[in-house]
Amino acid sequence: MWTPIVKPLALISLVAMPACASSSMAKSAPAIAAAITPPVPVPRVKPVVVSVAEKQKAFNAWKADFTQRAIAKGYPADLVRSVITPTKINELALERDKTQPEFTSPIWKYVDNAASPTRLADGKAAYNSNTAIFREIEARYQVSPYILTAIWGLETSYGRIMGTHDVPSALATFAFEGRRMAFGEEQLFAVLDILRSGAVTRDQLVGSWASAMGNTQFIPTTFRDYAVDFDGDGRKDLWKSKADALGSAAHYLSRMGWRAGEPTFAEVTLPQGFNHALADGSKRSISEWNALGVKPHNGQNWASGAMGLETKLIVPAGANGPAILTFKNFDVIKRYNNSTSYALGISMLAEALAGRPTLQTPWPKDDKQVAFKDLKRMQKKLTALGYDTKGADGIIGPNTRKAIQAWQVKNGLPADGYIEQGMFKRIMASR
């Protein structure tokens, strides 16, 4: 078995230890899960047919205008020109930004991929090669090195895939056209701030098509506000300095409210007849969940020291899949990437890196996903039946989930708000 070299901070004990127990906390620590966050369908922007030359002319006009406005804001003219003048339209960034999947991927596909055997093995190697850095980072920020390693692994495969796009060009493209104009401008101003600070040079600004940079994929505003020079060489080099990149990620999580020693999630068992509508994002203490019959999945009792911790219940694959309590730290991970699947993937990989068990309840992998166009039909159907989804956009948001749950209660089913082909067909056949 792989033995971590760095001994991380102990987790708060969630389950009461039998008097004779000698097993480590690691054995009883939980696993993850969360509500599926579907990709938001991108509104179709009506294509304006222009020639390449016309488009280039318009882009040049945008560059001149932005340059003028940035100088008027007080940025040095030389600096603004050094950033903006070399930018080129990035057609790939626009294309990627418009791509809309037909189906939402099931959460287990994402989570299994996040904690795949390859990523886990690579993660152990990456962790073991950087133990001194992780030890110093944990001493300063009290953030779990396993979580940091998992973020590093999911963001860039431990620094192997950091992106090859000129970030100012991608941002200028967004600012110039498409649905992300405000984002593009805001990020470009952040780029100017970063360069003015002297922490980075223009030619270092290479990243993903969406402008995320370095080992831990910081967008410019996050870079400007949270990146740190952890190795103390006077630069914030998130590309080549692992200490800077991982230290910056830890600093960010710390500032977002990371709680030392608290887990991110705990897998639980729900009692017979449990009201799944309680998995609605509202916070309850472990003590309150305990009173509702929610127990640790391993069959033990909650530790008295855990009773006051606030958590949310998620059943990301419905009543037939895992049930999970998520802690404050789970929400902190979502500040890195606002997706339950992401936070679950990070948590699972981190647990595996720590040598602790992950989710015990199998995912309902035979469930078939429902296409966005069918979800829209279902929303219309529910609304016609008197369960108002407040619109039909193909996304299972809070209103649609409530409508599904109300329909499920009316039809004597567990109100988990979860939709797969079977439930979809029942709703569509409903009168």
Element (H, E) at 326: strand 323-327
**Using the rule CB under 5 A, is 248 a contact of Ca ion?**
no
Give the nearest distance from C-beta 231 to Ca ion in angstroms: 4
> What character string, x for contact with Ca ion (CB under 5 A) and - otherwise, covers 187-216?
------------------------------
As to burial, measured by CB atoms within 10 angstroms (0-12 exposed, 13-18 middle, 19+ buried), residue 388 is: middle
The closest residue (CB) to Ca ion is 229
Q: What is the amino acid identity at position 62?
A: W
Give the SS3 label for residue 219. Answer: coil
Closer to Ca ion by Cβ: residue 241 or 329: 241
User: Would you tell me the crossing angle of helices 181-197 and 52-72 to the nearest 10 degrees?
Assistant: 50
Give the nearest distance from C-beta 160 to Ca ion in angstroms: 21
Residue whose pair of structure tokens reads 């055997």 in the numeric block: 117
From 120-128, 188-196, 219-227, 239-247, give the range in contact with Ca ion by CB under 5 A: 239-247
Closer to Ca ion by Cβ: residue 159 or 296: 159
From 29-37, 122-130, 235-243, 353-361, give the range in contact with Ca ion by CB under 5 A: 235-243
**Using the rule CB under 5 A, is 393 a contact of Ca ion?**
no
Residues binding Ca ion: number (CB under 5 A):
6
From 83-91, 99-107, 152-160, 243-251, give the range in contact with Ca ion by CB under 5 A: 243-251
Closer to Ca ion by Cβ: residue 110 or 230: 230
User: Would you tell me the crossing angle of helices 372-384 and 421-428 to the nearest 10 degrees?
Assistant: 40
From 231-239, 298-306, 329-337, 367-375, give the range in contact with Ca ion by CB under 5 A: 231-239
Give the SS3 label for residue 352. Answer: helix
Give the nearest distance from C-beta 134 to Ca ion in angstroms: 16
Distance CA 127, CA 352 (A): 13
**Using the rule CB under 5 A, is 136 a contact of Ca ion?**
no
Closer to Ca ion by Cβ: residue 231 or 280: 231
Distance CA 336, CA 329 (A): 11
Whether the Cβ atoms of residue 227 and residue 249 lie closer than 8 Å to each other: no
> What is the Cα Rg of the chain in Å?
24
Provide the token pair at 192.
Answer: 């100017």
Among 202, 235, 295, 376, binds Ca ion (CB under 5 A): 235
Q: What is the amino acid identity at position 366?
A: D
Give the nearest distance from C-beta 237 to Ca ion in angstroms: 5
Whether the Cβ atoms of residue 111 and residue 37 lie closer than 8 Å to each other: no
**Using the rule CB under 5 A, is 231 a contact of Ca ion?**
yes
Closer to Ca ion by Cβ: residue 220 or 394: 220
Any residues with CB less than 8 A from the CB of 295 and at least 6 apart, and which? 268, 269, 271, 301, 302
Among 129, 233, 310, 411, binds Ca ion (CB under 5 A): 233
From 68-76, 226-234, 248-256, 376-384, give the range in contact with Ca ion by CB under 5 A: 226-234
- Which positions touch Ca ion (CB under 5 A)? 229, 231, 233, 235, 241, 244
